[in-house]
A and B are shown apart, each in its own frame.
Chain A
Amino acid sequence: MADKIIIENLSLTYADGVESLRNISLNVPENAVSVLFGPAGGGKSTLLRCLNRLNDLTEVRASVGRILIDGENILDPKTDVIALRRKVGMVFARPVVLPMSIRQNLTYGLELAGENRKSRLDEAVERSLKLAAIWDEIKDRLDDPAIALSGGQQQRVCLARVLALQPEIILLDEPTSGLDPISTGKVESALQELKKEYTVILVPHSVQQAARTADYAAFFLQGELVEYGEGKTIFTTPREKRTEDYVTGRFG
């Protein structure tokens, strides 16, 4: 499988002196679910936020290295960040529905991108809600405020909102941390569908979820990439002792 994202020797230090990533090199294949897992503070979220340059808005003291997406270094200051963020969509840990109706939440990104033909927008709403496995639940009340939905529904609306933009890469930062098992299951199975078309990078909220969903898995500890490989290998016969200890629950 081709590598969609190539991360080369990436290091990053926040303004308060915390070194969050230490010399990370990682290749992310397309059309697969790659999982970044490990205990809190390992740098997983920071890495995700580098991929769509959301870290631009936090105070970063120093970052070195390169991130190539389709061969282009997105850390280059000349990169069109807005276009990058449309190509690399992101779903957050806590669902952030914007203070508008469900439909507007979905069309918001497209309208920002300059699309205003109603037929196109309606089509995108339906397609993305179906992909996010929530169309049947809410198709009759698209004009209700999105905040009225349950947490699990909100999170899938957020996923749909990202899908509406037709990105190529989808980043998910603990998308199911606040959800019940049924909603979590729906999101996870949606991911398995999504990987047929997209490159999916997931920071799971538990090792179990990592094991359930991962095609490829990367274990992060204190800003360091300990081990990276196929999900099956990592969760059954890891090379590193630290990975094995974490996966089997000896620390974490």
Chain B
Amino acid sequence: MEKTLNWREFLITRLVRASGYSAIVFVALIFFFLLREGLPTLGEVPISTLLSLRWYPIENYFGILPLVTGSIMVTLGATMVAVPFGIGTAVYISEIAPRWMREILKPLVELLGGLPSVVLGFLGILVLSPFVRTLLDLPTGLTALTGSLLLGGIAVPTVVSIAEDALDSVPRSYREGAWALGATRWQTIWRVTLPAAKSGVLTAIMLGVGRAIGETMTVMMVTGNAPVLAVTPGSLFSPVRTMTATIAAEMGEVANGSIHYHTLFFIGMVLFIISLAVNVAASSVVFRSKQRAERVLS
């Protein structure tokens, strides 16, 4: 009996460990693959072409700047939507709503997070983009703004869910301490509860941004897909094309091993690096504040 138990223990431990390591191995392999397929671009396409403003692969124009700026613009727009709405909803659910309301809202928000993005894209084309077009009197409703609004909506559930957990884990005694000092509910939320949940709230924002920057289907459907440099505020109201949409739209039709093929992987690399940078930035902020707390506690 004892022997079988030991044996089982041994096996299970190994299995758990193996699956833990495999996550690292997979990420490393993906990165390796990206590098292998994407790096040749640097030899095939001159840097000046890569940094030019024209993306027209059929005639060998491989300027990726319009795509990068398109992605950044849409993501920034989405963040502007998702952060205030997300944090606001999280604060409402965890701090203000009565219990019965909380029990309805929380599952509802999580359900929203599971909505397939194609469905949202569909709604975007049919409802949101005509609305944007008529409201702002634009030639087309398929703009960076439309994409931002929709992407923001997609990121909201992520932000809400994680930020709400973070707020919920702030000890009740913090709030009571502030109330007892004569703080109003709002002052307590703004000056005590939110700062105490800061690292969790930051994580929520970063994951929301991550969700937005990597989203493909919706932006492909509603941003118009015109590879035009998007740096002025005005370009928020014109069509743009993102990196993800470009890869998704063109990868199926490209000759394996061609310059265009390598360049698409190169774009994938850039995307990978950007989201890595966002994550590292986020965790270093969280890490720094944690380290400080640990230092002063010891």
Q: Which of A60-102 contact B (CB under 8 A)?
A: 82-83, 85-86, 89-90, 92, 94, 96, 98-100
Q: Does A18 contact B (CB under 8 A)?
A: no
Q: Does A29 contact B (CB under 8 A)?
A: no
Q: Does A109 contact B (CB under 8 A)?
A: yes
B173 near A85 with CB under 8 A, answer no
A99 near B182 with CB under 8 A, answer no
Q: Using an 8 Å CB-CB cutoff, how does the interface string of B156-186 with A read, 1 for contact, 0 for none?
A: 0000000000000001011111111111100
A112 near B180 with CB under 8 A, answer no
B181 near A161 with CB under 8 A, answer yes
Q: Using an 8 Å CB-CB cutoff, how does the interface string of A159-175 with B read, 1 for contact, 0 for none?
A: 00110010000000000
B180 near A89 with CB under 8 A, answer yes
Task: Count CB-based A-B contacts (< 8 Å).
Answer: 70
Q: Using an 8 Å CB-CB cutoff, how does the interface string of B240-263 with A read, 1 for contact, 0 for none?
A: 000000000000000000000000
Q: Does A39 contact B (CB under 8 A)?
A: no
Q: How many residues of A contact B (CB 8 A)?
A: 27
Binds A, one of B25-33, B67-75, B108-116, B187-195: B187-195
Binds B, one of A1-9, A141-149, A209-217: A141-149
Contacts of B195 in A (CB 8 A): 99-100
Q: Does A40 contact B (CB under 8 A)?
A: no
Q: Does A52 contact B (CB under 8 A)?
A: yes
A113 near B182 with CB under 8 A, answer yes
For residue A29, give the distance in angstroms from its CB to the closest CB of chain B.
Answer: 23
For residue B176, give the distance in angstroms from its CB to the closest CB of chain A.
Answer: 6
A92 near B184 with CB under 8 A, answer no
- Out of A52, A57, A99, name the residue touching B192 (CB < 8 Å): A99
Residue in B closest to A88 when the chains form the complex, CB atoms? B180
B181 near A52 with CB under 8 A, answer no
Complex CA gap A153/B174 in Å reads 17
Q: Does A135 contact B (CB under 8 A)?
A: no
Q: Does A108 contact B (CB under 8 A)?
A: yes
B176 near A148 with CB under 8 A, answer no
Residue in A closest to B191 when the chains form the complex, CB atoms? A108
A54 near B179 with CB under 8 A, answer yes
Q: Does B297 contact A (CB under 8 A)?
A: yes
Given A98-B192, A99-B195, A108-B191, decide whether A147 and B293 contact each other with a Cβ distance below 8 A. yes
A112 near B174 with CB under 8 A, answer no
Report the interface size class on chain B: 20 to 34
- Out of B174, B184, B296, name the residue touching A96 (CB < 8 Å): B174
Given A98-B174, A99-B196, decide whether A144 and B181 contact each other with a Cβ distance below 8 A. no
Given A108-B191, A147-B293, A147-B296, decide whether A98 and B182 contact each other with a Cβ distance below 8 A. no
Most buried by B among A83, A86, A99, A113: A99
Residue in B closest to A99 when the chains form the complex, CB atoms? B196
Complex CA gap A85/B188 in Å reads 14
Contacts of B179 in A (CB 8 A): 54, 57, 85
For residue A126, give the distance in angstroms from its CB to the closest CB of chain B.
Answer: 19
Residues of A within 8 A of B (CB): 52, 54, 57, 82-83, 85-86, 89-90, 92, 94, 96, 98-100, 108-109, 112-113, 144-145, 147-148, 158, 161-162, 165
Given contacts A82-B182, A96-B177, 16 further A-B contacts (CB under 8 A): A54-B179, A54-B180, A82-B183, A85-B182, A96-B173, A98-B174, A99-B174, A100-B195, A108-B178, A108-B183, A112-B183, A145-B293, A147-B293, A161-B181, A162-B180, A165-B181
Q: 7 pairs across A/B with beta carbons < 8 Å?
A: A52-B180, A54-B176, A90-B180, A96-B174, A99-B196, A109-B181, A145-B292
